[in-house]
Structure 1
Amino acid sequence: MSKPPTKRRRLELSLDDKIITESQTLPKPTHKQLSEKYGIGKSTVSDILKRKDVYMKNIEENSNGNMFRFSATTKYEQLNELMWDWFRQARDKSIPLSGPILQQKSLEFASWLQISDFKASNGWLDKFKTRHSIKAFKVSGESAGIDDKLVEDYTQQLPEICDGYSTSDIFNCDETGLYFRVLPDKTLSQKGSSSKGVKNSKERLTVMFACSATGEKLKPLVIGKAKQPRCFRNLKSSKMPVTWSHNRKAWMDSYIFGEWIKDVDRQMKREKRNILMFLDNATSHAKDIKLDNVKLKFLPANCTSHLQPLDQGIIRAFKARYRSKMMKSLTVLTMLKNYVNRLVCLMLSFGYAML
C-alpha cells in the first residue's frame, strides 16, 4: 500500500521575497525551479509573478519589505502612521516595548488627534502587530549599548598595543557569577503528570578566569563567603586546582583582585615572562598596583561584550560544562541513595524474618 503524499508545510513569503528577482535574469528560471527554491507551489509562483507590480507598489508605500502583507487603508490611518514612526524610533534606541505600552501610547496619540471613539483594544493591537510583522523577542546581551565607532577604533589600535608581545604572552581576565546549586528550569515528564519545581538556591560564587591568546589557562580564582568551607576540611589550599578567596558577599573587590594579580606577577617573574593582561575597567579592578612582569590594559567602557575574548563564549562554555557535570553527579548520587535505601530495607526485612 503506497504512502499518502506528505503535506507541504505552509510558507508565507515577505514582500521582498515576493518580488522574485530571479525572474528578471536571463535565462529565466522555470516555475518549478522557483517553487523548489522558495518552498512554495508552482501555482503560487505563477500568482506572485502576475501580481509583481502590485507588490512593488506596496513596498514603496509601506517602506518595509520585511512585512508579509501590505497595509490596507484603515479607519485610524493617521494614528497608525504616528504609532509606527514612534515604534521604530523607540526600537532604534533599544527601548523594550510591550503590548500595554503600545496601547497606552496609542491612546495618547488618539487624544492628541482628538479621536474620541478609539479604544486601543486588543483587536487593534493584534492587527497593528500583524500589519507591521511585529513579534515578541527576549532582550538579551548588552551589545545595544555599545558605540560601534569606539569598538572599530580600538580594534585598529590593537596591533600597536600588542607590539612587543608574542601571542602566548597576551592574556585576558574576567570574572563571572556562578549560582552553583541552581537546577535547570526545564524537564522531560510524562504527559499528564505534574512537573512541579522547587525553590532554587541563590548561593553564588565569583570565578575569575584568565587565559592567553594561545589557550594557556591560569589557575582560576574562586571567591566564596567562608574562609575555610567544611568541604575543604581535609584539603591544603596550595594543592587545590583553584585559588580560593573569600569575603562577606562572595564578590570581587579591589583587595582580592590586587592579591590575585600580584600572584600572577610573581608567577610570571619565576617564568621570566612579561605578559599583557586585557581586562574591563570595573571599579573592583584596582589600577594603581605596581607590577613588574604584568602590564594591565583596560578595555573601553561598555565595550567588553564585543572586545573581551572571555565574553565571546569561553565563560558560557564553562558554565555549560559545569551544569552538565553537576547533573551527572546528581544522577549518580540519586542512584546510590536508592541503592542504599533498598539495601537497608532488605537488611531490616531479613533481620525481622530471623526473629
Structure 2
Amino acid sequence: MIARKCKIPLKEKLNIINQCDSLSRDYVAQQHLLSPQAVNYIIKNSEKFIKAYNESPSKDSKGVRTEFPLEELEREVSEFVLKLNNSGISVHGEEIRCYALRIASDKGLTNFKASKGWLQNFVKRKGIKSLKLNGQEGLVDVEITKKWFEEIKIELNNYSEYCLLNADETSFEYHNQARQSYIHPDGNTKNVIERKERVTLFFCVSSVGEKFKPLVIGKSKKPRCFKNKQNIIEKVNYRSNQKGWMTSVIFTEWLIEMDGVFRERQQKAILFLDNFSGHSTEYEATNII
C-alpha cells in the first residue's frame, strides 16, 4: 500500500479517532491510505483535534500535516550537532542516532530506526564530516636506535637485573572525550578540542617487575578524594602544581628519594628516562645514573 502524503481534513481525523476505538490502527490506516505512524500521531493528539473541531465544527479545516517529515527531524538533529560543536563537545555516531530516535519518538515516527545506514546518509546530506580532533606521532630513526642498543648492552652488563629501572609519565584524563567527532559544516571546529582535565601519573619499575611507589601529580594541594583515605595515601606519593604536570622540582624530589632507596640497599642502579624537560635536575645521585 502506498500511503498518501496529503493534508487530512479535520473531519476525517475525527472519523479515524472514532474508528480506532473498535478497529485496529493498522486496519484504519489501510482504509484511509495512511501510514501507521500517521494514525498513531492522530490518536496521540486526539484531544487537540477534538477541541479544534468543537471550537469550529463548520470549518472543514485540514489542519497540520499528520506525518512529521524526515526533513524536519534531520534539521533538528543537524542543529543538535552544531550546538555541541560550538560548545566544544565532541560528537560521535551513537549520540546522533540516540538523539534522532528521541526526536522520532516525540513526534510519533515509530518506524524510524536511526540505523547506521541512515547515519551515513544523514551526515552526507548535511555535509557533516568525521574528523580526528587531535593526534601526535613521533618519528624515530631506526638506524640510530639500533646503534644505541648495541652500545647500551655493554653498559648493562655491569648491573643486576634488579637495578635496571625504567620510569615515565602518563596522564589520566578523567574528562576525556572521543577523539573522533562529527563536525557540522557551519560548526566552529576550532572550538571542538579535547578536554585536558587530568592528573599526571609517574611510574617506575625494574626489569624484573619490581614496582616502586607511583607518583601522582595533580592541581589541588589537598584533593577531596584523599580525605579519610589513609590506605590510598600510603600507596602513592602525591604532589601538586598549577598545571598538574611533572616539573624538574618534583622530579628532583622523587630522584632523591629513589637514590636513598638504593643507597640503603647498597646497590647501583641505572635509570632510563626520555628527554622530557621536566626530567632535568642538578641533583647528583650517588646510587642512580
TM-score of the superposed pair, with normalisation by structure 2: 0.45
- Which structure has more relative contact order (CA 8 Å, sep 6+)? It is 2
Task: Give TM-score, length-normalised by structure 1.
Answer: 0.37
